[in-house]
């Protein structure tokens, strides 16, 4: 059931840019939203999208620091 859902052909919505199943005929993300609501949804989406790489970068930096500390600790011993 889930698998067949992912295999459905998708069409990019002209209004919000999200991909929606072609056979639906209308966008499942914005068909019941006003222009203002679509704008707000897209803003929220872009904020979330920009926020993620920063988190990954921070986590990566933390990991590098921990590895460096472990390396130095071994070196001292």
**DSSP one-letter code for 29:** T
Phi, psi dihedral angles at 20 (to 5 degrees): -135, 150
Please give the size of the binding site for Zn ion, defined by CB under 5 A: 6
11 vs 69, which CB is nearer to Zn ion? 11
Q: Which of 21, 23, 30, 56 binds Zn ion (CB under 5 A)?
A: 30
* Residue 15 binds to Zn ion (criterion: CB under 5 A): yes
Q: Which of 13, 33, 41, 42 binds Zn ion (CB under 5 A)?
A: 13
Distance (Å, rounded) from C-alpha 77 to C-alpha 75?
6
Phi, psi dihedral angles at 33 (to 5 degrees): -105, 150
- What are the residues binding Zn ion (CB under 5 A)? 13, 15-16, 27, 29-30
């Amino acid at each position: 059931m889930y698998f067949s859902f992912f295999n459905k052909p998708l069409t990019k919505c002209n209004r919000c840019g999200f991909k929606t199943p072609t056979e639906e005929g209308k966008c499942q993300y914005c068909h019941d939203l006003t222009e203002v609501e679509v704008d707000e949804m897209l803003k929220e989406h872009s904020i979330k999208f920009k926020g993620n790489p920063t988190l990954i970068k921070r986590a990566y930096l933390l990991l590098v620091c921990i590895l460096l500390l472990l390396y130095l600790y071994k070196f001292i011993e």
